[in-house]
Amino acid sequence: MSTAPLAGTSPWIRIADARDHLGETVEVRGWVTHHRSSGKVQFLVLRDGSGAMQCVAGLKDVSAEDWDAAARLTQESSVIVRGTLRADARSPGGVEMGLQAVEIVALAEPYPISPKEHGTDFLMDHRHLWLRSARQQAILRIRAEVVKAFRDFMDREDFLLVDSPIFTPSACEGTSTLFETTYFDQKVYLTQSGQLYQEAAALAFGRTYCFGPAFRAEKSKTRRHLTEFWMMEPEWAFATLDDVIALQERLLVYTVGRVLESRAEQLRSLERDTTKLEKVKAPFARIHYNEAVDRLRAAGLSFEWGNDLGGTDETVLSGQFETPLFVTNYPAAVKAFYMEPDPADERLSLSCDCLAPEGYGEIIGGGQRMASLELLNRRIAEHGLPQEAFEWYKDLRRYGSAPHAGFGIGVERTLAWIAGLDHVRETIPFPRMLYRLHP
């Protein structure tokens, strides 16, 4: 009977690298997803986080003790196995292991998530375990690629990463969606957006961006709303609305291209129609708010000029184009206090939202920032915001003010579109929504 630990007796490889080790005896550490036995042969499928592999043990290939250990394995038990790798098309990654030794690390209790269908609430309650499923792994691998593409793109465009704070003394995107908390004996809020701090950073470094979580106490129970989400926010000094629209276009072409190239396997497993993503090429469609209103009315919606676009409006508009769609010059009244007025029509603003195609709707919001200190004072008052809290922000107009523009792109909505998901709840490891704070 062997009692020596198995770990380390052969090189420990990741399943994703198995093809580089054909013919070799190696060790794999992972979890059992399937187990079946024909009496003389046992088949295990192991998952190690990098991929899945079939492992086969013949009665004579392993010790009696290891044979019994393999026979006791339940779904999600953790194991260390040793064996020889050979090409086999029937194994998930095309490589199969002929087992020589099996060591149980921990035998799993009956696993709550079985291959049968489960309801969304059940899966969400078991999100900590659901992350192990092939579908969730594909989505989160694409998420990591999207984040990396965002970062790589900004770095290549010579924007400097400057982190914005999470605790903030004042609102950025309006007071109605602030999460309040206490900071020793003071009231503070969780950040809705790092933008105002990026404006300070951009006037210091020229081109900056932040990447971090944002919090909104949104009572919306839609497929697009989370209360905690991740956003990248570039800010660019001496740039105009047109400059940042062109930057958004380059960012999205780059990001979609990266995912198509390096996450093809995951897109395939999600059954994403990639021909739609291949149409994400410059130039993107661009319409003025007034044209958006005309298009909505022509589509039979009773849309009133001056209103903000709602989810349905965005779905209708973005469904009319194959590329992402820029909608520009929204009414100032439906946007945040910091938007530069449109010189062509002072009721409008130099703002832009980018709507993803296939009806996904807004994934980016941004625009040109207000230059005039006097107008800023007025807007802060009109929005019922405390002047004192914005004195530092007004300093940016007092000392070397320059036109500047920027935007915020949400990771989850962008990912929902790229991966073809119908709800943002699967785009983030542990979603926080109106009725969801656990696990």
Which residues contact residue 373 at a Cβ distance below 8 angstroms, ignoring those fewer than 6 apart? 394, 397, 398, 401
Q: Minimum distance from CB of 65 to ligand 4AD (Å)?
A: 52
Distance of CA 269 to the CA centre of its chain: 18
- Binding of Mg ion by 357 (CB under 5 A): no
Secondary element (H or E) of residue 228? strand 228-237
- CA distances (Å), 379 to each of 30, 46, 141, 252, in order? 58, 60, 42, 32
Closest by alpha carbon to 213, among 390, 438, 431? Answer: 431
Partner whose footprint covers residue 258, from Mg ion, ligand 4AD, none (CB < 5 to 8 Å by kind): none
Q: Is 207 in the site for ligand 4AD (CB under 6 A)?
A: no
Q: Which 355-374 residues touch ligand 4AD, going by CB under 6 A?
A: 362-366
Task: Tell me how many degrees the CA angle 168-170-173 measures, rounded to the nearest 5.
Answer: 100
Query: What does 408 bind: ligand 4AD, Mg ion, none (CB cut-off 5 to 8 Å by kind)?
Result: ligand 4AD
Residues 77 to 96 in contact with ligand 4AD, rule: CB under 6 A: none
CB of 128 to Mg ion, least distance (A): 31
Tokens 């064996």 correspond to 83
* Least distance in angstroms from the C-beta of 106 to ligand 4AD: 37
366 scored as a contact of Mg ion (CB under 5 A) = no
Candidate ranges 79-87, 105-113, 256-264, 405-413; the one touching ligand 4AD (CB under 6 A): 405-413
Q: By CB under 5 A, which span of 150-158, 184-192, 335-343, 362-370 interacts with Mg ion? A: 362-370
Residue 428 vs residues 177, 190, 434: alpha-carbon distances, Å: 20, 19, 15
- Within 407-436, the residues that bind ligand 4AD by CB under 6 A are 407-408, 410, 412-413, 424
Among 27, 233, 249, 342, binds ligand 4AD (CB under 6 A): 233
**Given candidates 30, 194, 365, 431, which one binds Mg ion under the rule CB under 5 A?**
365
Angle, CA of 62, 65 and 69, to the nearest 5°: 90
CA torsion 191-438-146-33 (nearest 10°) is: 170
Site for ligand 4AD in 152-181 (CB under 6 A): 172-173
| Calpha distance 120→118 (Å, rounded) | 7
Concatenated DSSP letters of 203-220: HHHSEEEEEEEEE-----
User: What is the binding site for ligand 4AD (CB under 6 A)?
Assistant: 172-173, 193, 195, 216, 218, 225-226, 229, 231, 233, 362-366, 406-408, 410, 412-413, 424
By CB under 5 A, name the binding residues for Mg ion.
365
